């Protein structure tokens, strides 16, 4: 027997379109893209996390609000998770070029290092190399204090923030409504309690 | 009402009503990242309406909350496009694209406004609007070339929305005054620029535009003539505020 659905007090629920196919297909998610944020001009980019998206440009668009709607941001970039090459020196042998990467034209790779477990990978610079493996090997060679992991991303695979897009975050400091503290809930409660005492 | 106030009211009401409508997707968006992005842009639009109601307040109009929550539908000057119910996501995206293209171009023009506070505001929110149009254009290009279902859905929503979208450019009784006083270059100039951008964005997609001349604009919103949907939207939006209009939040 089909029971009546619970009626929501939220009027929006009653207006949602009826769909013929309420069961979700398993594993239907978009693939992932990694998001890197520069919190202020001149600071290194930090890895913030992934977004799901149908392509690189959509990933950039969705990453902007998913990761930079609260705290200061001066620039943002995204890359397909498959384009982020990782080398963990404690666990892996030094990377060597595979057949595909040998055919590559040299490029510039953004290099990131993970120096603390559970923290974000942070950009340490850029390296010219003929392949991601070579970029990782060079980053390893130039490094004195060994991190847990090196990341290398070919710049050609990155969707950067264009110069005219740097005003995306201009009004962010004004958006106090996204910060719970700005509502001064504690102060208002205290005033209410004092008044009713 | 002066030409300037009429202009500010119609822009502010557009931003408030589209912001409220888009915020109705919060929690129901088609994917988490999109839910966040669409909700965040809806907040931006309500914030922009607030800034415009503040400008009106400095010109002697009542405070923003009073203007937003205590007026009846016939006093709102928004175009009918923004008050239509959300329907399915394809319509909301198409509306977002058609409306935000016009909104971004309007504020771009207002950067040159002789009313300095308005020009300052237009300059300030330029980046917000740049993102909103990037978001809209990217989705339209994505879904307008993706699957048969996505293309058909967007095409149908486009054809449904276009007459209402042309209502954005309903001329004001003060067009000449606004242009002469260099407050705003006018709805006709905006409409021309809007057509070009809409055509540019749709060109690489499989969506097609009907001949502009074949579309009958849905006018009246700028004179307070609305669909029945605006009253129910206002009742819902104002429900809590009207319980105690003097409450401190």
Look at A12 and B24 and tell me if their CB atoms are within 8 Å: yes
Q: Which residues of B touch A58 (CB under 8 A)?
A: 138-139, 142
Classified as helix, coil or strand, A154 is strand
What's the farthest any 2 CA atoms get from each other in chain A?
78
Look at B86 and A171 and tell me if their CB atoms are within 8 Å: no
CA atoms within 13 A on the CB side of A11: 10
The whole-model pTM stands at 0.94
Look at A61 and B86 and tell me if their CB atoms are within 8 Å: no
Q: What is the C-alpha to C-alpha distance for residues B126 and A94, in angstroms, rounded to an integer?
A: 48
**Mean pLDDT, rounded, for B197-215:** 98
Q: Which two tokens stand for residue B137?
A: 């254009």
* B142 occurs within a structural domain: yes
Q: Report how many domains make up chain B.
A: 1
Does A17 contact chain B (CB < 8 Å)?
yes
Find the CB nearest A17 among B41, B43, B87. B87
CA dist B44 to A62, A92, A181, B200, Å?
16, 47, 19, 25
Find the CB nearest A66 among B24, B33, B135. B33
Q: How confident is the model at residue A24 (pLDDT cuts 50, 70, 90)?
A: confident
* B59 occurs within a structural domain: yes
Residues 104-133 of A with CB under 8 A from B: none
Q: Which stretches of chain A are DSSP H helices? A: 11-15, 56-68, 99-102, 132-141, 185-196
Classified as helix, coil or strand, B21 is helix
Find the CB nearest B130 among A168, A174, A178. A168
**Mean pLDDT, rounded, for A56-81:** 96
Q: Please tell me the least confidently modeled range out of A4-8, A69-73, A103-107, B34-38.
A: A4-8
Q: How many CB atoms lie within 10 A of CB B234?
A: 24
A3 pLDDT more than 60: no
CA dist B50 to A61, A172, B15, B232, Å?
25, 16, 9, 21
pLDDT tens digits for range B100-122: 999 999 999 999 999 999 999 99
Look at B128 and A62 and tell me if their CB atoms are within 8 Å: no
* B249 occurs within a structural domain: no
pLDDT of res. A13: 84
pLDDT of res. B56: 98
CATH number at residue B147: 1.20.1260.10
A2 pLDDT more than 70: no
* B119 occurs within a structural domain: yes
Find the CB nearest B130 among A63, A167, A178. A167
pLDDT of res. A1: 45
pLDDT of res. B219: 97
Q: Which domain holds residue B198?
A: 3-243
Find the CB nearest B36 among A66, A171, A175. A66
* B48 occurs within a structural domain: yes
pLDDT tens digits for range B140-188: 999 999 999 999 999 999 999 999 999 999 999 999 999 999 999 999 9
Find the CB nearest A171 among B32, B37, B127. B127
Under 8 Å between Cβ of B11 and B106: yes
Q: Which stretches of B175-220 are DSSP H helices? A: 175-180, 187-202
The CB-based long-range contact list for B222-226 (8 Å cut-off, 24+ gap) reads: B222/B10, B222/B77, B222/B79, B222/B167, B222/B170, B222/B172, B223/B77, B223/B170, B224/B73, B224/B74, B224/B75, B224/B76, B224/B77, B225/B74, B226/B73, B226/B74, B226/B76, B226/B78, B226/B80, B226/B83
Does A137 contact chain B (CB < 8 Å)?
no
Residue to mutate among A58, A67, A73, with most B CBs inside 10 A, is A58
Residues 6+ apart with CB under 8 A from A24: none
Q: Which two tokens stand for residue B22?
A: 């888009």
Q: Which two tokens stand for residue A161?
A: 């923030």
Q: How many CB atoms lie within 10 A of CB B72?
A: 10
**Chain B positions touching chain A (beta carbons under 8 Å):** 24, 28, 31-34, 36-37, 40-41, 43-44, 47, 85-88, 124-128, 130-131, 134-135, 138-139, 142, 146, 236
pLDDT tens digits for range B48-102: 999 999 999 999 999 999 999 999 999 999 999 999 999 999 999 999 999 999 9
Residue identified by tokens 């004092």 is: A194
Look at B41 and A65 and tell me if their CB atoms are within 8 Å: yes
Classified as helix, coil or strand, B181 is coil
Q: Which residues of A touch B87 (CB under 8 A)?
A: 17
* B147 occurs within a structural domain: yes
* B248 occurs within a structural domain: no
Q: What is the C-alpha to C-alpha distance for residues B84 and A122, in angstroms, rounded to an integer?
A: 46
Q: What is the C-alpha to C-alpha distance for residues A53 and A81, in angstroms, rounded to an integer?
A: 11
CA atoms within 13 A on the CB side of B31: 16
pLDDT of res. B122: 98
Q: What's the ipTM?
A: 0.94
pLDDT of res. B1: 64
Look at A65 and B40 and tell me if their CB atoms are within 8 Å: yes
């Amino acid at each position: 027997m089909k029971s009546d659905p619970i009626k929501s007090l939220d009027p929006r629920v009653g207006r949602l379109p009826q769909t013929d196919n309420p069961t979700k297909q398993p594993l239907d998610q978009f693939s992932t893209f990694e998001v890197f944020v520069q919190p202020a001009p001149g600071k290194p980019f930090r890895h913030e996390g992934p977004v799901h998206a149908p392509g690189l440009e959509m990933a950039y668009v969705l990453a902007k609000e998913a990761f930079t709607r609260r705290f200061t941001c001066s620039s943002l970039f995204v890359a397909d998770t498959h384009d982020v090459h990782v080398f963990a020196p404690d666990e892996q042998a030094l990377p060597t070029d595979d057949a595909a990467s040998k055919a590559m034209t040299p490029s510039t790779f953004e290099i990131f290092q993970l120096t603390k477990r559970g923290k974000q990978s942070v950009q340490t610079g850029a390296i010219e190399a003929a392949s991601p493996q070579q970029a990782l090997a060079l980053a390893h060679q130039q490094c004195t204090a060994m991190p847990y992991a090196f990341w290398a991303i070919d710049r050609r695979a990155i969707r950067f923030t264009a110069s005219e897009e740097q005003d995306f975050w201009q009004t962010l400091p004004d958006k106090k409504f996204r910060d719970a503290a700005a509502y001064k809930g504690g102060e208002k409660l205290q005033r209410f309690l004092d008044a009713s005492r | 009402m002066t030409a300037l106030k009429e202009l500010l009211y119609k822009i502010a009401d557009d931003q408030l009503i589209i912001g409220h409508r888009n915020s109705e997707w919060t929690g129901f968006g088609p994917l988490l990242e999109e839910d966040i992005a669409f909700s965040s842009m809806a907040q931006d639009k309500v914030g922009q309406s607030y800034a415009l109601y503040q400008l009106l307040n400095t010109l002697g109009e009542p405070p923003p909350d009073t203007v937003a929550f205590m007026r009846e539908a016939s006093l709102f000057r928004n175009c009918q496009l923004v008050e239509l119910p959300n329907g399915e996501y394809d319509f909301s995206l198409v509306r977002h694209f058609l409306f935000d293209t016009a909104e971004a171009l309007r504020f771009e023009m207002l950067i040159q406004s002789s009313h300095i506070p308005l020009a300052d505001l237009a300059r300030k929110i330029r980046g917000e609007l740049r993102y909103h149009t990037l978001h809209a254009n990217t989705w339209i290009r994505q879904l307008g070339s993706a699957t048969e279902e996505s293309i058909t859905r967007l095409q149908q929503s486009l054809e449904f929305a276009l007459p209402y979208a042309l209502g954005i450019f309903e001329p004001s009784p003060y067009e000449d005054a606004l242009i002469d006083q260099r407050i705003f270059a006018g709805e006709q100039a905006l409409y021309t620029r809007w057509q070009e951008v809409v055509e540019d964005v749709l060109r690489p997609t499989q969506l097609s535009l009907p001949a502009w001349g074949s579309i009958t604009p849905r006018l009246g919103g700028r004179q307070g003539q609305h669909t029945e949907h605006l009253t129910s939207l206002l009742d819902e939006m104002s429900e809590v505020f009207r319980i105690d209009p003097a409450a401190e939040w």
